[in-house]
Structure 1
Amino acid sequence: MHVTDVDAIQLRNHLDGAGFTVEGVLERIGEAGQDGLRRNCTVPADVALNGATDPLASLIRLFILQQKVPADQLREVLDLGQLGRAGYLDVGVEVRALVDIRPYGSPDDGATGWVVADPTPGLDHSMEPTRPDYVLGVSPASSTLAQITMRSEVSSALDLGTGCGVQSLHLSRHCGRVVATDVNGRALDLAALTADLNQVDVDLRLGSLYEPVAGERYDLIVSNPPFVMSPPRAEAETLAYREANFEGDSLVERLVRGAGNHLNPGGSLQLLTNWAVLDEPWQERLAAWIPQECDAWVIERERLDVYSYIEMWLTDAGLAGTPGWRTAYDEWLAYFNRLGIRSVGMGWILITRADRPEPFRRFESWPHAVAQPVGGVFERHRAAVDAHLLPVDELLDTRPRLIDVDEETVGRPGAGDPEHIVFRQRVGLLRAIRADTTLAAVLGALDGDLTLGQVTAAVAQVLDEDPAEVAAAVIPEVRAALLDQMLVL
């Protein structure tokens, strides 16, 4: 465990006392100020503060707007000497923040407090090359990982590549023991202050991939690893928060291949990551990585061509508009061409040590809108697979029920019957089933009271059809609905 050089309890009390919370900041800068910060523009928030010099305004200017603030405005709310000696503030007549201490809110699981990271790059279009040991704050990617992470109570969890420590903050809410690792020592230092500020216990360890936890197993492993497939470079030039000098996507491959050796029975690995798409089908390539004892569910959320991918990460590195832009671009193109990378898939990977005689693997592209958080969907996935795979006789004896589903009918105005009926999820991945009359009647009657066999028999009687034929026709659709969690047992 890293020990910080800061009295975290005192700092926490100062921040809280000044109202430096998510609600306090949002109320002060307003929606326009918040929208501006999402665009990396500080002007709307600065205008909203209207020259105020009270403690909350001063903290917003110091940490969020990255402005120099007169020391006299901060002495009542911060121990400037202590924070300066720790390397978190540059203290003189004016004070400049060398780290970003930012309020963080998560109302769905209560992981609310503060996160410590390096200052946000590119504010007000000021682009500078990113330092190699830069520690990224709460990003859209880290927020997504938190939202897709299953929240069931478990004994142990591993936050692999913790960065600023935000995932550990979430894991601490439902995991008895949290271990967090990172190859970047600076990340562990800032993650330690994040943990201390939020009064959570995290075992922080330095090292790459599974090396710091050799011989250990966990109930849950989460990671948004440094997956960017950049050309190899000197370690001093590698941006630790996003790349690790592994060739192509071999870092992701090693995480997946090693999962079985680090998961307890029933445990899961959840990744937010990307993978290379070569000439072979991407599903076959990723399937070869998965340990024999593990189920897998891989969801491709987005597919980028190599040009879009390279431009995104060159901009992220602060190279946009610099003389080295085109040279770096050409280097990436040559690298991708050598590896045969045609495009890049980006998405979510779930690996579960299910220990089935025949592992269950599912690969799909789902670029559509979802209703976050979807952690519950991943939490229920193993049970959904169990239901999906039931033998026919056992399936007919179950009592499935529809959950969080709306029924829609579509047809021409004045027509006696609808052209088709759609069952659509209100939560999770927002999937839909297009049903004919028979399937719609069966699904509509599944409320958990009658068995599937009883419902199919009753529908067959109403429609004057053979019960066995009705059952045979709807069972594949029922299995699909169970797998997609539109039906549950």
Structure 2
Amino acid sequence: MTLEFSDDFCARLREALRRTSYDADGVLAALGGAAHAALGRNEPEPAYRASTDAGELGTLIRLFLLGGSEPEAAVRAALAPLPLEDALASGLVRGDGERIRAGLDVRPHGDEEGSWWVVSDLDSDQLGHEVPPDHVLGVGHASLSLIRATIRRPVGSLLDLGTGNGVQALHAARHAQHVTATDVSSRALALADLTFRLNGLDVELLRGEWFAPVARRRFDQIVCNPPFVVGPPRVDYTYRDSGLAGDDASALVVRQLPALLNPGGVGQLLASWLHVEGEDWADRVARWLPAGTDAWFVQRDVADPGLYVGTWLRDAGIDPRSPEGRAKAGAWLDWFADEKVRGIGFGFVTLRRAEVEHPTVVCEDLRQAYDDPLGPEAGAWLDRVAWLREHADDLLDTRFRVPPTVLLERIDTPGEEGWQTTIRRLHRTDGPGWQHEVDELAAALLAGCRGALPLSDLLELLTIAHGGTAEELAGAALPMIRELVRHGMIEPV
């Protein structure tokens, strides 16, 4: 079915959604906190029960959020002033005997400032079978994690590469004056267009592969949730498969993205990379980078190949136990074995077009759980990297302080002379919760970082108490200081 939605259709649907309070706050109020939380865990029954007393809003909740079938008269009333006939003709809903089911997923999605509606295809659970190849994914965990990892600072222009249902562009419109969204899928662009028009947003939409639609253009910021699933070079589903082998899709975006940034511009993406026998993953991803690019690769997880394959088969609605599932899994795992793949890394990449001879490239694990969004930390990381580059030659003249959010944890074990400290660990209690183990001398140095004395004076005082020379202590301390600055565990005054 060709997806076409007129301005009148969008205006009438928007009026119906507003009239019934089918938005993030309205749904939460109708369901209550417990049922709403259960729905987030894919436990629909409490939401079904809570929605029965919610009138027309309850009809829309059961129709679009719970995948139920509703009486024709109830749906007609809930969608007014949009005629039910128009909703059926457009594919927004579909007939199911004498009842009506959703044809598309229309879902409230909100942030601290307000609420939107996001339109996507029904997933395999709602359809009851495998999704088609041009399936347009809803707002999943990957989308939400990129939303939380994106820097939200005012910019003039922003590109959402591979927009899908358009949710990244919705958030981008909060802080970008002009948003451009691209996708290779005509179906994705049609649903993204409906998403944008429902929410009254003017977003430039372009169709084409990768960066081709915006060749020779430049942006202040680029966000990208690419088809990063790794494996054999094939395209079963456009939302996840690139047609490139292994992690070449992530490599392509990292290689080409900086060229489309204005000087100082920032790009952020989700990415996957292979852990290959005999190769360090950090070396692998660092080779993708073009010259003059600051880069922060944050690895959030490493998946076993068997678990990885099973997860993505289920995501598409394929039972790994079925003949089709076993055949697909076998071919996928054979490819991993041939390529000596031992694991699949997944995480966030932050890039900045720095145009310097010696950019900063850091690859690190961040597999611990944390609550704070990564976006503010990514912006602060870029700021701290720029500060370190600007003050590379005068760190010893700088006065530092340890922020109040950083604590020193000691682990003592019993010894012959009583308790002995065996581990000293700095722990940052906000952001990603960075931790660094330090020795006694480093702990003493950091204890003096109160913003009163420059680093050189503190090192001189340590030589009096612990021996050695200031030059020797500086040689050992400066690499640690740079790393702690990058992680926000000490800061210049």
Q: Name the residue aligned to 1:188.
A: 189
| Corresponding residue to 1:117 among 116, 120, 123 | 120
Code of the residue aligned with 1:268 in structure 2: it is V
Q: Name the residue aligned to 2:248.
A: 250
Q: Name the residue aligned to 1:33.
A: 35
* Aligned 8 A contact 2:124 2:316 in 1: no
Q: Deviations over 1:154-181 (max 9, x none)?
A: 1111111111111001111111111111
Q: Deviations over 1:367-396 (max 9, x none)?
A: 112333110111122222234456665112
Aligned identity (percent) is 35
Q: Name the residue aligned to 1:355.
A: 355
Cα separation, 1, equivalents of 2:373 and 2:260: 26
Cα separation, 2, equivalents of 1:33 and 1:232: 42
Question: Is 1:427 the counterpart of 2:466 in the alignment?
Answer: no
Q: Deviations over 1:345-372 (max 9, x none)?
A: 1111122211111222112222112333
Q: CA deviation at 1:458?
A: 5.5
Q: Name the residue aligned to 1:263.
A: 261
Alignment of 1:478-489 (within 5 A): 478-489=481-492
The worse-fitting range, judged by mean Cα deviation, of 191-200 and 178-187 is: 191-200
Q: Name the residue aligned to 2:56.
A: 55
Q: How many pairs align?
A: 480
Code of the residue aligned with 1:476 in structure 2: it is P
Cα separation, 2, equivalents of 1:176 and 1:6: 23
Q: 1:463 to 1:247 in 2, by over 3 A?
A: closer
Q: Name the residue aligned to 1:289.
A: 288
Q: 1:150 to 1:181 in 2, by over 3 A?
A: same
The worse-fitting range, judged by mean Cα deviation, of 91-100 and 450-459 is: 450-459
Cα separation, 2, equivalents of 1:287 and 1:344: 16
Q: Report SS of the residue matched to 1:303.
A: strand
Q: Name the residue aligned to 1:102.
A: 107
Cα separation, 2, equivalents of 1:456 and 1:111: 51
Q: CA deviation at 1:32?
A: 4.2
Cα separation, 2, equivalents of 1:82 and 1:487: 60
Q: 1:53 to 1:297 in 2, by over 3 A?
A: closer
Q: 1:273 to 1:473 in 2, by over 3 A?
A: closer
Q: Name the residue aligned to 2:303.
A: 304
Cα separation, 2, equivalents of 1:324 and 1:462: 71
* Aligned 8 A contact 1:182 1:207 in 2: yes
Code of the residue aligned with 1:95 in structure 2: it is I
Cα separation, 2, equivalents of 1:417 and 1:340: 45
Alignment of 1:438-453 (within 5 A): 438-448=441-451, 450-453=453-456
Cα separation, 1, equivalents of 2:253 and 2:238: 17
Q: Report SS of the residue matched to 1:347.
A: strand
Q: Name the residue aligned to 1:132.
A: 133
Q: Report SS of the residue matched to 1:132.
A: coil
Cα separation, 1, equivalents of 2:339 and 2:394: 48
Code of the residue aligned with 1:281 in structure 2: it is D
Code of the residue aligned with 1:269 in structure 2: it is G
Q: Name the residue aligned to 2:331.
A: 331
Q: 1:481 to 1:133 in 2, by over 3 A?
A: same
Q: Deviations over 1:219-247 (max 9, x none)?
A: 211111111124445x6xx2111112112
Cα separation, 2, equivalents of 1:200 and 1:426: 38
Q: Name the residue aligned to 1:319.
A: 318
Cα separation, 1, equivalents of 2:197 and 2:458: 56
Q: 1:217 to 1:415 in 2, by over 3 A?
A: farther
Q: Report SS of the residue matched to 1:383.
A: helix
Cα separation, 2, equivalents of 1:438 and 1:111: 50
Cα separation, 2, equivalents of 1:338 and 1:464: 56
Q: Name the residue aligned to 1:199.
A: 200
The worse-fitting range, judged by mean Cα deviation, of 70-79 and 135-144 is: 70-79
| Corresponding residue to 2:94 among 75, 81, 90 | 90
Code of the residue aligned with 1:30 in structure 2: it is G
Q: Which runs of 5+ in 1 are unaligned?
A: none
Q: Which runs of 5+ in 2 are unaligned?
A: none
Q: Report SS of the residue matched to 2:50.
A: helix
Q: Name the residue aligned to 2:274.
A: 276
* Aligned 8 A contact 2:309 2:332 in 1: yes
TM-score (norm 2): 0.89
Cα separation, 2, equivalents of 1:6 and 1:86: 13
Q: Report SS of the residue matched to 1:200.
A: coil
Q: CA deviation at 1:331?
A: 1.6
Q: Name the residue aligned to 1:214.
A: 215
Q: 1:327 to 1:435 in 2, by over 3 A?
A: closer
Q: Name the residue aligned to 2:67.
A: 66
Structural RMSD (CA): 2.7
Cα separation, 2, equivalents of 1:469 and 1:286: 34
Q: Deviations over 1:92-141 (max 9, x none)?
A: 8532211111111222xx36321111123325xx7511111111111000
Cα separation, 1, equivalents of 2:183 and 2:212: 10
Cα separation, 1, equivalents of 2:340 and 2:22: 49
Q: CA deviation at 1:426?
A: 1.8
Cα separation, 2, equivalents of 1:96 and 1:391: 62
Cα separation, 1, equivalents of 2:377 and 2:13: 38
Cα separation, 1, equivalents of 2:41 and 2:32: 15
Q: Name the residue aligned to 1:395.
A: 395
Q: Report SS of the residue matched to 1:258.
A: helix
Q: Report SS of the residue matched to 1:229.
A: coil
Cα separation, 2, equivalents of 1:3 and 1:319: 30
Alignment of 1:228-247 (within 5 A): 228-233=229-234, 238-247=236-245
The worse-fitting range, judged by mean Cα deviation, of 246-255 and 10-19 is: 10-19
The worse-fitting range, judged by mean Cα deviation, of 375-384 and 147-156 is: 375-384
Cα separation, 1, equivalents of 2:226 and 2:185: 12
Cα separation, 2, equivalents of 1:210 and 1:460: 56
Cα separation, 1, equivalents of 2:16 and 2:67: 19
Q: Name the residue aligned to 1:341.
A: 341
Cα separation, 2, equivalents of 1:16 and 1:463: 70
